[in-house]
Structures are given as structure tokens and as C-alpha cells.
């Protein structure tokens, strides 16, 4: 397999973006990535999108985005794996370039989620859960993650303070992110007094619904060198699945797909988890961040919460987690989230993070973890800055 690199990145503004359409959001991000990379063409396009039909009334996403970008005729396809669609799009681009089928590929993600009302958005997101055995009986994702949180609290002694610490940390980081949906800091008491959604999860434990797009240029190392821009090497990629139903899992306090995906990515990269210096993980709810950190092996089971309270996952901590602000502050346009994680690692490893959120320890190796639903699918990537 050829060495695959990330050489340019781009994002649209994230949030409730009323004046940009589904396709315009994509083009905003795609043009930014093309301009930053310096490429004069792309050979193919992968677009992560969970549910363009339900959110925006638009399917056939690959073709419409290639057309609106001004590149009709190129190979283009939509990639879907619920909230992991963006990460899967990046993996597809990696395999395309690595195999030799293409030399320059765009991996992108987009979702326009706020053009429908809250009930419709909840129903659209619920399609990533088990329709017959969970959704039919009234389960929503806040409810499913609340059950996971209650199980984690019972087994490991996880506390309200630990969940709060995740939200406060990620909003601190997101307050410095120019594209974040909610770029403001939070006080612990604000989190703990916010509206209860599903016990123990309050509204400020939950990621928002978001409009947004993100794109990266993936290419061979030979091309990356010629372009003369900073670039990352993709060292490893891991993908895994698990049962969709929580009821079928042996242990609701861990995310098996994240464990398997990280193990596979690390093996491909020839690295150990201790080699990872910063990480973007899928914090769709505060409990998810803690469970993922334990599932991928960055912390022992039950230890991520106290480590977060102690500042170990802060920007100046031992292992900075979600320096972008994560899904919680930056936002969560489900098809684009996995690509935005790659973008943040690109910025951190190349020293380009804006507004004071650059990790001062100058990391050289980073990890992303993106998952679908309550962890039925998970994709992990390991990247290293080119020396």
C-alpha cells in the first residue's frame, strides 16, 4: 500500500446556517481545501452524509456535490455509517489513494440538519439505532447514552462532576475555534443546572444539531512533497462494528467497536497507544468521551473521568482530548464530524491551530475516533506530521 498523506483542509461555518444550502455548505468547505492544498484537480470524491434525504430532502449526494463543485464526470460517491460517515469517507479516500486507483482524492462530509424541526431531527437521528428493538419502544440517543452513563456510574463510580468536567473542557477549547457552533466557555454550575434530558444527562451534556461541512485533500507523498505545503502521513486506519442494540452487548460501559478499531489502526501504524500525543474523539454526549478514552486504551476502565477532572485531557495536559471543542462545542453535523476531526489533528500537528488553542507540547502523532449511533460502528485513524 502506498504512503497516503493529508495536504490541505477546509471547513464551512458550523451552526444554524440559514443562508447556505446543503450543497453550498459542501462547496464552501471543498473550495477551501482545494485552495489550501494547491492541487489543480482531484481524481475522485467521497462525501460522508448520514441522511441527506431526511434532513435536506436530497439523496444522490455524490453526484450533486461533484456537479455543484464544477467537476461533473469525476468518480464521486456518498459514504454512510450514521455519525461515523465522515470518518468512513476518509477511510475510503485512504484506500483509493493507497491502492493506486487515484492519486489525489477529496474526502468530505456534509449535513444540513436545522431546516427541519426538532422532532423530525430526532427521528432522523434515531434511524442509526435499532428500529425494531429500540426506537419502536421509544428509545432516543439521549436515552440510550443515559443508560450507558447510569451503567458506567454503577460499575465505576463515575460522578456528575466528571461529566461536567468534559463539557467545561470542551467548551473552553471550542471558545477558541473560529468555526464552532457554540464558541463560549461554561461554568460547572451552568452545566449542572441546565435542563435534564435523560437522567443523568442534561442539555449541556449533549452535542447539538448542526449545519456544516468539512473537506480534506488526500494524496500520495510524492505529490504532497511537490505541493510544498505542510502535510501529514496516514499511518493507520481501523474499522469495526458491534451490535446496534445495547441489550445485546456484554458490557454497556465500554464501546467494543472503538477498542477493535483502535487496535487495528495501531497495528497498521506500528504504534502503541502510549505513542499518541493528542486525540479527537466522538463526544456526542459527555459520557461518550469518557467511555471512548477507556475503550481505546488511553485510560484504564473507570479512570477517564477523574483524569479529566484533574486536567490530564486539557490542552496543557498529559493527553489533550478534543482540542477543537469536540462535538459538544464545535457542533455535530453528523456526516461531517469525522472529517473535522482529521482537520483538527492536521492543524495541531502542523502548528496551525487558531486563537490560542495550539497544544504547546508540539505533538507529532495524533488519533481520531469517529463512531456511529451508540457505537455500532467505529473508525480510528492515526496520523503523523511529515518531518
Q: Which long-range contacts (CB under 8 A, 24 or more apart) does 344-350 make?
A: 344/280, 345/232, 345/278, 345/280, 345/383, 346/6, 346/9, 346/216, 346/232, 346/383, 347/9, 348/278, 348/320, 348/323, 349/232, 349/278, 349/383, 349/384, 349/385, 350/230, 350/231, 350/232, 350/385
Nearest CA-CA partner of 113 in 339, 356, 381, 332: 332
Is-catalytic flag, 332? yes
Nearest CA-CA partner of 214 in 386, 377, 18, 36: 36
3-state secondary structure of 28: helix
Bridge partners, residue 280, by sequence: 368
Q: Tell me how far apart the alpha carbons of residues 87 and 371 are, in angstroms, rounded to a whole number.
A: 8
Q: Kindly name the residue from 49, 83, 206, 284 that is annotated as catalytic.
A: 83
For 118, residues 6+ apart whose C-beta sits below 8 A from its C-beta are 209
Q: Cell numbers of 96, please?
A: 483509493
Q: Where are the beta strands (DSSP E) in the chain?
A: 4-11, 44-48, 76-79, 104-112, 196-198, 201-202, 211-220, 232-241, 278-280, 365-372, 377-385
Q: Tell me how far apart the alpha carbons of residues 347 and 325 are, in angstroms, rounded to a whole number.
A: 13
Q: Kindly name the residue from 152, 156, 282, 332 that is annotated as catalytic.
A: 332
Q: List residues with catalytic annotation.
A: 83, 332
Amino acid at each position: 500500500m502506498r504512503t497516503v498523506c493529508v495536504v490541505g483542509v477546509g471547513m464551512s461555518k458550523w451552526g444554524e446556517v440559514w443562508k447556505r444550502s446543503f450543497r453550498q455548505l459542501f462547496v464552501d468547505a471543498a473550495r477551501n481545501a482545494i485552495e489550501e492544498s494547491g492541487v489543480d484537480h482531484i481524481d475522485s470524491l467521497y462525501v460522508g452524509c448520514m441522511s441527506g434525504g431526511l434532513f435536506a430532502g436530497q439523496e444522490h449526494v455524490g453526484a450533486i456535490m461533484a456537479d455543484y463543485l464544477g467537476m461533473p464526470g469525476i468518480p464521486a460517491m456518498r459514504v454512510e455509517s450514521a455519525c461515523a460517515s465522515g470518518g468512513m469517507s476518509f477511510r475510503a479516500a485512504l484506500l483509493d489513494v493507497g491502492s493506486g486507483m487515484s492519486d489525489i482524492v477529496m474526502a468530505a462530509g456534509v449535513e444540513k440538519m436545522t431546516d427541519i424541526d426538532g422532532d423530525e431531527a430526532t427521528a432522523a437521528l434515531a434511524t442509526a439505532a435499532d428500529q425494531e428493538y429500540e426506537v419502536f419502544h421509544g428509545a432516543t440517543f439521549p436515552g440510550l447514552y443515559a443508560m450507558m452513563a447510569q451503567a458506567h456510574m454503577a460499575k465505576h463510580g463515575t460522578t456528575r462532576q466528571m461529566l461536567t468536567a468534559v463539557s467545561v473542557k470542551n467548551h473552553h477549547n471550542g471558545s477558541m475555534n473560529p468555526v464552532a457552533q457554540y464558541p463560549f466557555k461554561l461554568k460547572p454550575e451552568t452545566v449542572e443546572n441546565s435542563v435534564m434530558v435523560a437522567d443523568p444527562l442534561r442539555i449541556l451534556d449533549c452535542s447539538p444539531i448542526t449545519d456544516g461541512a468539512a473537506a480534506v485533500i488526500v494524496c500520495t507523498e510524492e505529490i504532497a512533497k511537490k505541493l510544498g505545503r505542510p502535510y501529514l502521513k496516514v499511518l493507520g486506519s481501523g474499522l469495526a462494528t458491534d451490535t446496534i442494540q445495547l441489550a445485546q452487548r456484554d458490557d454497556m460501559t465500554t464501546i467494543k467497536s472503538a477498542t477493535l478499531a483502535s487496535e487495528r489502526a495501531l497495528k497498521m501504524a506500528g504504534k502503541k497507544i502510549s505513542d499518541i500525543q493528542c486525540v479527537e474523539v466522538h463526544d456526542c454526549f459527555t459520557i461518550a468521551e469518557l467511555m471512548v478514552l477507556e475503550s481505546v486504551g488511553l485510560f484504564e476502565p473507570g479512570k477517564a473521568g477523574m483524569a479529566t477532572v484533574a486536567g490530564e485531557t486539557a490542552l496543557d495536559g498529559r493527553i489533550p482530548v478534543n482540542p477543537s471543542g469536540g462535538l459538544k462545542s464545535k457542533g455535530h453535523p453528523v456526516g461531517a464530524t469525522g472529517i473535522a476531526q482529521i482537520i483538527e489533528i492536521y492543524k495541531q500537528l502542523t502548528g496551525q491551530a487558531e486563537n490560542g488553542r495550539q497544544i504547546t507540547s508540539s505533538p507529532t502523532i495524533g488519533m481520531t475516533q469517529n463512531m456511529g449511533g451508540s457505537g455500532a460502528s467505529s473508525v480510528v485513524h492515526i496520523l503523523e506530521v511529515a518531518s
